[in-house]
Amino acid sequence: MVAKFDLSDDSVVVIIGTGAGGGVLANELAQKGVKVVALEAGGRYLPEDYINDEWESFGQLAWTEPRTTSGDWRVAKDFSGLPAWIVKAVGGTSIHWAGASLRFQDHEFKTKTHYGNVDGANLLDWPIDPAELAPYYDKAEAKLGVTRTGDRPGLPGNNNFKVLEKGAKSLGYEEVNTGHMAINSIEYDDRISCQQTGFCFQGCKWGAKWSSAYTDIPRGEATGNLEVRDHCHVARILHNDQGMASGVEYFDKEGNLQMQKAKIVCVAGNSIESPRVLLNSHSAMFPDGLANSSGQVGRNYMRHTTGSVYGVFDKPVKMWRGTTMAGIVRDEARHDPSRGFVGGYELETLSLGLPFMAAFLDPGGWGREFTSALDSYENMAGMWIVGEDMPQETNRITLNHSVEDAYGLPVANVNYTDHPNDRAMRDHAYARGKAIYEAVGATRTLPTPPYPSTHNLGTNRMSENPRDGVVNKHGQTHDVPNLFISDGSQFTTGAAENPTLTIVALAIRQADFIAGELSKGNI
């Protein structure tokens, strides 16, 4: 029986967002008997609704509300109104993600210690020790059914992976495999195994890939403790005279302003919308926005050092067949400053269909240099670079008061400029990617600039000291004890790994903490 809570019920936990962070937190709390209202800006779409068509699916799932961009990153020029490719739906970007589920390396929790002072970088150690998170990584891997963990086998390699594997191994790379993926290699948790359909980014029509949309959300609802309200767009978080969060104002499906009272508020709207909500919640008591006494809300925006390399061969690859992110090279993920940069990067296969390849291969490009590459589309293999980018205070989300959304709220501006370390890393990765494909006989290789961001991180970061960040080691804001951050915006640094597994592990851990605090009467 799906729960239905009254707007005036001030005993509920209100969670903003239902993706990998909010969706998991909602279910974990509901399983523990905590009453939850989850507010989701998007609608409900399940595997039967997903579309094997890139632009149609984009229209169905993507967050396309206005945003603005600035800074020297190329996305600001090529996709000025689309800084991020993330999802607006129940289940959030866990519908779109590729499924790569990697644990951070231990040193990546302590970058200030290991990387030292990097000019212009706002590095900081996480206030969590790797050992503290390890048991939650175990739980997250079991929840997501991650391949190559537990007793789950790896996925079979598709054509795109085989090209990467052969090239990488011939260069001497050793950690080359079909990855740790939240895509079933065998039937697991009532979900079937991967049918090698492709279109992982468009929502898995088989449900073989984990998404909170069809796992945690319905399971949470089945407890009777979770109510998910879709098409509810949050405007601001309210607080009482004591400076405690007291409720959330949102526009409902009909566009009417509503207010849900709350005992606890958890923000999981991703690293662009979460700081936007806090900044839009400014008041006389919190003139710079909620939980922003440090001035760090919105700052240190990270999006991973990315880019792609496509190799063109004299024979067909048909890279679109099968798992989109079908394999990985991990050897460069280590921290080895002798390469000319701190931190490391992963190389992961990626494929785009013809429509998105045309849009992203060389945005703005035209003429025969461009079209001759597309003419070889069938003979292409592709990989994506995922590397640790430097947190910088000036890379940040701010409110753009000259542009309003449909509800009259100022939109988020995303300012991003590459750090010299980011550029050095990207150039290194481009060269290694090129070498990998040339080792297999590529007749042409193409570097592709970063796509609109899917890994949006760090804008409400964790810190030991309240001066340095927005939340503590539990995601609890330093300033407002009953206000939590539950998504990737709490990341202190970004690491080289795809972030979702860590978001899920932190959400499971936060649920334990919140339930514990509630039972102890601390909140």
Partner 1 sequence: MATKASSKGLTRRQLLARATVAGASFVVGSGFMAARNAAWATELSALKPTTFATLVQMARDIYPHDKIDDQYYVIAVKGYDSPDTADEIEAGIAALDAAARGKGFANYLETGWEKDRVAILRGMEESPFFQKIRGGLVTGLYNQKAVWPIFGYEGESYSKGGYINRGFDDIDWL
Where does this chain bind partner 1 (CB under 8 A)?
52-53, 55, 156-159, 162-163, 166, 194-199, 205-206, 315-318, 320-322, 353-355, 357-359, 364, 366-368, 370-371, 374-375, 377-378, 440
Phi, psi of 462 (to 5 degrees): -75, 140
For partner 1, the closer of residues 134 and 374 by Cβ is: 374
Supply the minimum distance, in Å, between the C-beta of residue 372 and partner 1. 9
Least CB distance to partner 1 at residue 239 (A): 44
AA identity, residue 185: S
Residue 271: closest CA among 95, 432, 459: 459
Nearer to partner 1, 336 or 369 (CB): 369
Please report how close the Cβ of residue 383 comes to partner 1 at its closest, in angstroms: 16
Return d(Cα 442, Cα 171) in angstroms, integer.
14
- CA–CA separation, 346 and 323 (whole Å): 17
Cβ proximity to partner 1, 318 vs 334, nearer residue? 318
**Are residues 440 and 160 in contact, defined by beta-carbon separation less than 8 angstroms?**
no
For residue 274 the two structure tokens come to 């979460």
Q: Closest Cα to residue 211, out of 30, 393, 46? A: 46
Gap between the Cα atoms of 125 and 393, Å rounded: 15
Nearest to partner 1 of 170, 519 (CB atom):
170
Alpha helices (H) along 84-234: 111-115, 130-144, 159-170, 216-222
Q: Would you state the structure tokens that stand for residue 475, as one six-digit string?
A: 């995601």
Nearer to partner 1, 81 or 420 (CB): 81
Of 205 and 335, CB closest to partner 1:
205
Return the number of the residue (370 or 513) whose C-beta is nearest partner 1. Answer: 370
CA distances from 298 to 37, 268, 319, 430 (A): 25, 14, 37, 30
Q: How far is CA 3 from the centre of its chain?
A: 28
Q: Helix or strand or coil: residue 75?
A: helix
Minimum gap (Å) between residue 86 Cβ and partner 1: 20
Spatial distance between the Cα atoms of 340 and 347, rounded to a whole number of angstroms: 18
Taking the complex as a whole, the smallest distance from the CB of residue 5 to partner 1 amounts, in Å, to 37
- List the structure tokens of 510: 């936060």
Q: Which is nearer to partner 1, 77 or 253 (CB)?
A: 77
Shortest Cβ 356–partner 1 spacing (Å)? 9
Amino acid at residue number 275: P
- Rounded to a whole number of angstroms, the minimum distance from the CB of residue 208 to partner 1 is 9
| Minimum gap (Å) between residue 367 Cβ and partner 1 | 6
Q: Compare residues 165 and 389 and give the one whose CB is closer to partner 1.
A: 165
**CB 52 → partner 1: shortest distance, Å?**
4
CB of 165 to partner 1, least distance (A): 9
Phi-psi region of 258 (alpha: psi -120 to 50; beta: other; left: phi over 0): beta
Q: Nearest approach, Cβ of 167 to partner 1 (angstroms)?
A: 9
Q: Contact 266/482 with Cβ under 8 angstroms?
A: no
Q: How far is the CB of 159 from partner 1 (least distance, A)?
A: 4
- 302 touches 458 (CB < 8 A): yes
Please report the beta strands in 185-253, taking only residues with DSSP state E, as ranges in sequence order. Answer: 226-229, 233-239, 245-251
Task: Pick between residue 368 and residue 520 the one whose CB is nearest to partner 1.
Answer: 368
Q: Is 161 exposed, middle or buried (0-12, 13-18, 19+ CB in 10 A)?
A: buried
Minimum distance from residue 13 beta carbon to partner 1 (Å): 37
Tokens 């800006």, located at residue: 41
Question: How far, in Å, CA of 329 to CA of 345, rounded?
Answer: 9
d(CA 271, CA 412): 11
- Closest to partner 1 by CB, 275 or 449: 449
- CA 441/CA 426 separation, integer angstroms: 23
Alpha-carbon distance values, 80 to 5, 201, 278 (Å): 40, 22, 23
Of the two residues 322 and 458, which places its CB atom closer to partner 1 in the complex? 322
- C-beta closer to partner 1: residue 170 or 240: 170
| Cα separation values, 305 from 346, 350, 420, Å | 10, 15, 11
Number of other CB atoms surrounding residue 354 within 10 Å: 12
**8 Å CB contact between 298 and 279:** yes
